[in-house]
Amino acid sequence: MILLIEDKGPVRVLTLNRPEKRNALDTALTSALLESLRRTDADETVRCVVLTGAGPAFCAGADLGEFKQLTDPKAAEKRAALTMQLHLAFSKMVTPVVTAINGAAMGGGAGLAIAGDLAVMSRSAKLGYPETKHGIVAAIVMANLVRQVGRKSAFELVALAEPIDAPRALALGMVNRVVPQARLMNEALALAEKLAAVSRQAMAQTKRLFYEVADLPLERALERGRDANKRMRSFAK
């Protein structure tokens, strides 16, 4: 199984399971993860997701071996569209997602690590966007990065392609917690259980509004807040 699925009460743990490839994202794993996220979001018994990786790495990014075989432009375009849908899925979900970054997260793996709503990172892990060192661009993952990190820091990450350690990722606001490796899953699960305890309706409206207002001018963002306030009155106990 390239993607392990385990339920711990209302929390679903998804584990990228290609440790021999440092959990690199080939088409099969990308498709499996996207489908699982969508299926999980439709399951009202699941109130939070924890995403992590098997073995010493979280995710090495795109499977370069597979990419070298994508010589057909249409196949390459289809693969890029699949990657885009995966990174977009997190903000579209009602269910909150906590990423448990157990090891190196590079390129698309770094994008995946910060795509969740909250992130817990092992103190020994690293994040990085090494694409320019390979003569390519951190293209799809750049959109989310610049929304979470100041422009100067984001440009430094994608231009110099130098990995950063966990304390630096925390200082930049890319992750919420940095803990020893031995405590990673316990911390991530504890955070997930707190999120799972929140009303599903309240969480759905919070996520929807949060991702809307992040990209809106102030007046329009306040209007969205006003509209959400009206909707939530009908949910109040």
Nearest to 138 by CA among 89, 149, 118: 149
Beta strands in 48-139 (DSSP E): 48-53, 57-59, 97-101, 104-106, 118-122, 126-128
- In angstroms, the CA 85 to CA 93 distance is 12
Break the chain into its structural domains and give their ranges.
Answer: 3-196, 200-233
CB contact at 8 A, 32 and 82:
no
- In angstroms, the CA 133 to CA 163 distance is 12
175-225 pLDDT, tens digit per residue, is 999 999 999 999 999 999 999 999 999 999 999 999 999 888 889 888 989
Nearest-10 crossing angle of helices 139-148, 151-160: 150
Catalytic residue among 131, 156, 193, 219: 131
122-131 pLDDT, tens digit per residue, is 999 999 999 9
pTM exceeding 0.85: yes
- Would you say residue 101 has pLDDT above 90? yes
Cα dihedral sign for 212, 33, 184, 157? negative
The share of the chain scoring above pLDDT 90, in percent, equals 81
Name which CATH class applies to 3-196.
Answer: alpha beta
Tokens matching residue 27: 């088409």
Active site residue 77: no
Helix, strand, coil distribution of the chain in percent, nearest 5: 50, 20, 30
- Would you say residue 1 has pLDDT above 90? yes
Average pLDDT score over the chain? 93
